[in-house]
Structure 1
Amino acid sequence: MRYEILGPLRVVDGNDYSFISARKVESTLAVLLIRADHVVAFDQLVMELWGDSPPRRVAAGIHVYISQLRKFLHRPERDDNPVVTHPPGYLLRMGVDELDFRDFLRLTEEGRCLAREERYEEAADCLERALSLWRGPVLRDLGNGPIIDGFVAWLMESRLECLELLADCQLQLGRHRELVARLYSLITEHPLRETFYRQLMLALYRSERQADALHVYQTARRTLRHELGVEPCRALRDLQQAILTSARHLDLLASV
């Protein structure tokens, strides 16, 4: 089986896709997948499912959800069930099963290592494969508990780092014109992410659009001052000055 949480949670078995309609059962599976191969304590599940307002028969509720989850994950060809009771709670054993976010992290790290070795073509391919695993917002709207919310925040940050690294690789490969539209979109989605402004400024400058590059800097400055009361970071300020003077180090040295 393959578990996929980079989007609506689903279980892939061959060509079949299975979804859970009951929200709390789905949340239970999400927590167990986030902590796969590690015990999730009973109290942690309670906090994740009900917060500070658990029902009177909370133990019975957890038992029902675990039972429903075991039925959902049962496969006739398998003798064991991946969800097991393990004091002080429960765990999900991965075994040979796959988990998409682990693949994403592995591909991202491989891409990062390739970029360090200046193997930008291979790095970009690896990072694009990592990003292709995303099907939408992580775990839809299952948040509200510390485990899921913390995990979603961490994974979203990991995705942004992957996007930044991919853009850097593509700039090294001379794909600046292809990057412009995508970086404009990313700035709209993440207006406080200064790295995307820097990359867009460089992509525009290399596309013979110096005025547009400087306009992006002013947009970044207005946004940061309005939202946070701060000036752009030093990297952005230095790039603005370099563009104003048409500094030679901004030119693409790698062959296109």
Structure 2
Amino acid sequence: MRYELLGPLLVSNGAAHHSLSAPKMEMTLATLLIAAGRVTTKEQLVSELWSTAPPRRASAAVHVYLSQLRKFLVSAGDHAGDAIVTKPSGYVLRLGGASYDVDDFQQLTRTGRARQHAGQYEAALEAFERALLLVRGPVLDGTAEGPALSAFATWVEEERLDCLELSVEARTALGRHREVISLLHGLIAQYPLRESFYRQLMLVLYRSDRQAEALRVFRSAQKVLRAELGLEPCRSLRRLHQAILTSDRLLDLPLAG
């Protein structure tokens, strides 16, 4: 079996993908998945499903959802029917021999970071790209509202952006500057307050002999940050701006900036 939570929730058995059409059941399984191997209490499930306004028979409804989920997982490939275990304090989803895209994503990003640190940029880039392919969209199609699921969705998005930054760094270290210029322009348009993307774009533009454009990117970042947050660009962005103004030779080194 395989569980996929980096996007719409899917369970597969190698031959077919299975999804849940009932939102509450999907949220219940997702809550158990993000705590896989650990106990999720009934109170936590109620909080995820109904926030601060649970129905009178919330506890009974949770029992129904869990019963239906067990049947769903059996049909999806849990032939032993023991993936969800009842404990005195709550419920545990046991992965057993099942694979899980979140675990795969974390392992690939760890591998990528280690390769990057060792200067193995091609291998690092491959790991980051494989990790990014696992993220199929917003967690639960963007419908996660409970505290744990919302926090998890935020974590996934932050990890995805970090992975994107690292992949850009790997390409930059390999001298593939022009490949990332359009990507970074798009990321800045989508995440205008994330200063690291401005920094990366300034560097690759400079290394592509487009110094004037790199300086315009700094002014754009400065304008946005002042208007939105009342702040000046961060220290690393200001240092890079000064280095570009003086054509600092350090900018020609891999991963400088």
The TM tier, using the shorter chain, reads: over 0.9
Does the alignment pair 1:107 with 2:108? yes
- Determine helix, strand or coil for the equivalent of 2:181: helix
- Determine helix, strand or coil for the equivalent of 2:144: coil
What CA deviation, in whole Å up to 9, does each residue of 1:165-202 have, x standing for no partner? 11111110001000100011111111111111000000
Question: Partner residue of 1:147?
Answer: 148
Shift of 1:15: 2.5
What CA deviation, in whole Å up to 9, does each residue of 1:5-32 have, x standing for no partner? 1111111111201110000000000000
Does the alignment pair 1:164 with 2:153? no
Take 1:149 and 1:51, find their aligned partners in 2: how far apart are those partners? Answer: 12
Question: Partner residue of 1:19?
Answer: 19
Percent sequence identity is 53
Question: Partner residue of 1:117?
Answer: 118
- Determine helix, strand or coil for the equivalent of 2:49: helix
Shift of 1:158: 1.2
Q: Which amino acid aligns with 2:4?
A: E
Question: Partner residue of 1:10?
Answer: 10
Question: Partner residue of 1:46?
Answer: 46
Alignment of 1:66-145 (within 5 A): 66-75=66-75, 78-145=79-146
Take 2:177 and 2:210, find their aligned partners in 1: how far apart are those partners? Answer: 11
Question: Partner residue of 1:37?
Answer: 37
Take 2:57 and 2:254, find their aligned partners in 1: how far apart are those partners? Answer: 67
- Determine helix, strand or coil for the equivalent of 1:40: coil
Shift of 1:142: 3.0
Contact 1:142 1:148 in 2 (8 A): no
Take 1:114 and 1:95, find their aligned partners in 2: how far apart are those partners? Answer: 29
Q: Which residues of structure 2 form unaligned runs of 5+? A: none
- Determine helix, strand or coil for the equivalent of 1:132: helix
Take 2:206 and 2:88, find their aligned partners in 1: how far apart are those partners? Answer: 60
Question: Partner residue of 1:56?
Answer: 56
**Structure 1, 158-167 or 39-48: larger mean CA deviation:** 158-167
Q: Which residues of structure 1 form unaligned runs of 5+? A: none
Does the alignment pair 1:235 with 2:236? yes
Q: Which amino acid aligns with 2:158?
A: E
Question: Partner residue of 1:215?
Answer: 216
With over 3 angstroms needed to count, the CA separation of the structure-2 counterparts of 1:19 and 1:77, relative to structure 1, is closer
Contact 2:70 2:81 in 1 (8 A): no
Take 2:15 and 2:202, find their aligned partners in 1: how far apart are those partners? Answer: 44
Take 2:16 and 2:248, find their aligned partners in 1: how far apart are those partners? Answer: 56
Take 2:78 and 2:53, find their aligned partners in 1: how far apart are those partners? Answer: 40
Contact 2:25 2:69 in 1 (8 A): yes
With over 3 angstroms needed to count, the CA separation of the structure-2 counterparts of 1:77 and 1:106, relative to structure 1, is closer
What CA deviation, in whole Å up to 9, does each residue of 1:26-50 have, x standing for no partner? 0000000000011100100001101
Shift of 1:59: 1.6
TM-score normalized with structure 2 length: 0.95
Shift of 1:77: 7.2
Take 2:80 and 2:237, find their aligned partners in 1: how far apart are those partners? Answer: 58
Take 2:34 and 2:210, find their aligned partners in 1: how far apart are those partners? Answer: 45
- Determine helix, strand or coil for the equivalent of 1:90: strand
Take 2:143 and 2:176, find their aligned partners in 1: how far apart are those partners? Answer: 38
Take 2:170 and 2:50, find their aligned partners in 1: how far apart are those partners? Answer: 44
Take 1:136 and 1:49, find their aligned partners in 2: how far apart are those partners? Answer: 21
Take 2:142 and 2:51, find their aligned partners in 1: how far apart are those partners? Answer: 16
Take 1:155 and 1:133, find their aligned partners in 2: how far apart are those partners? Answer: 11
Contact 1:73 1:81 in 2 (8 A): no
Take 2:87 and 2:143, find their aligned partners in 1: how far apart are those partners? Answer: 24
Take 1:87 and 1:98, find their aligned partners in 2: how far apart are those partners? Answer: 27
What CA deviation, in whole Å up to 9, does each residue of 1:63-120 have, x standing for no partner? 1100110110014772232011112111110000011011001100110011111111
